[in-house]
Amino acid sequence: MIILINNPKSAHQVYATPPGDLAIWFFIFAELLAFGIFFAAYAFARAHNIALFDASQQHLSRTSGAINTLVLITSSYFVVRAVAAIKQGYSNQCARWIGAAIGFGAIFLAIKSFEFYGKFSSGITLSTNTFYMFYLSLTIFHFMHVILGMLILAAVMLKARRGGYSAENHTGVETGASYWHMVDLLWIILFPLIYVIH
C-alpha cells in the first residue's frame, strides 16, 4: 500500500501512503477486485453470446445512465471541494459540500430506482437471461455501494459539523472521500461496459 513518489518539497520524505485511513484501502482493494472479476466475467460471458447481449442491451435506457454518470461525477467533485475546505480548516463549508454530494447521491438512487421499477414491472429477474443477470447483479451491487457510501459520507458530515476535523487532522474526511470516489469510478466503468459498448 506504499507508493513511491517524487516529492520535491521534502527530500527526506520518500514514501507516501494513500489519503485517508489505510484500513479503507484494504476494503477498496477487495471491492475493486470483486467488481473487476465481475467485469471480466461479463466480458467473457458476452463474448460467448454477443447476439443475446446486444439485443437485451437495446432495452436499457442510456439517457438515464448518462445523466447518472454526470450526477455521480458532480458529487465526486463536491467531495473534492469538501476535502479542500477542511484542509483550510473550514468545517462548516466541508460539511455543506459533503451534504451536496449526499444529495446528488440521492438523485442517482432516485433515477436508478425509476429504471429498476421499469425493469421489474416488465417481469425481468436475475434468471431472465445472462445479460440481465449481469445487468441486475452489477447495478444492484453498485446501488448498494452508493447507499453505503452515502452512509459513510453522512457520518463524516455529522462529525465535520460538530467540528470533529481540522486542517491538521482530517483523515476521516479523506477516508470517506476515497470510498466515494471508488463508488464513482465503478460507475464510470460500469456504465459504458453494460449500457453502451456493443
Partner 1 sequence: MNETFTKAMARNIFYGGAVFFFLLFLALTFDTVQTLPKRDHRENITDSVVRGKHIWETRDCIGCHTLLGEGAYFAPELGNVYKRRGGDFIKMWIKGQPTGAPGRRQMPQFDLNDQQLDDMVAFLKWTSEINTNNWPPNIEG
Partner 2 sequence: MQYKSQAVAKPYFIAAIGLFLGQILFGLIMGYQYVVGDFLFPAIPFNVARMVHTNLLIVWILFGFMGSAYYLIPEEAETELFSPKLAWLMFWVFLVAGALTIVGYLTVPYATLASMTGNDILATMGREFLEQPLPTKVGIVIVALVFLFNISMTVLKGRKTSISLVLLLGLWGLAIFFLFSFYNPSNLVLDKYFWWWTVHLWVEGVWELILGAMLAFVLIKITGVDREVIEKWLYIIIAMTLITGIIGTGHHYFWIGTPEYWQWFGSVFSALEPIPFFMMTVFAFNMVNRRRREHPNKAATLWALGTGVMSFLGAGVWGFLHTLAPVNFYTHGTQITAAHGHMAFYGAYVMVNLTMISYAMPMLRGRSANSRSSQVMEMWAFWLMTISIVCITLFLTAAGILQIWLQRMGTSPMSFMDAQDQIRIFYWAREFSGLVFLVGLVLYIWSFFFKNSEAQAAE
The site for partner 1 (CB under 8 A) is made up of: 2, 13, 15-17, 20-24, 26-27, 125-127, 140-141, 144, 148, 152, 171, 175
The DSSP symbol for 196 reads: I
Burial 164-185 (b: 16+ CB within 10 A, else e): ebeeeebebbbbbbbbbbbbbe
* Rg of the chain over all Cα atoms, to the nearest angstrom: 19
Cα–Cα distance for residue pair 14/157, rounded to 1 Å? 32
Report 25-44 residues binding partner 2 (CB under 8 A): 26-27, 30, 33-34, 37-38, 41
* 58: number of Cβ within 10 Å: 8
Q: Is the Cβ of residue 52 or residue 67 nearer to partner 1 in the bound state?
A: 52
- Rounded to a whole number of angstroms, the minimum distance from the CB of residue 83 to partner 1 is 14
Q: Is the Cβ of residue 158 or residue 197 nearer to partner 1 in the bound state?
A: 158
In the complex, the residues that contact partner 2 under the rule CB under 8 A are: 23, 26-27, 30, 33-34, 37-38, 41, 126-127, 133-134, 137
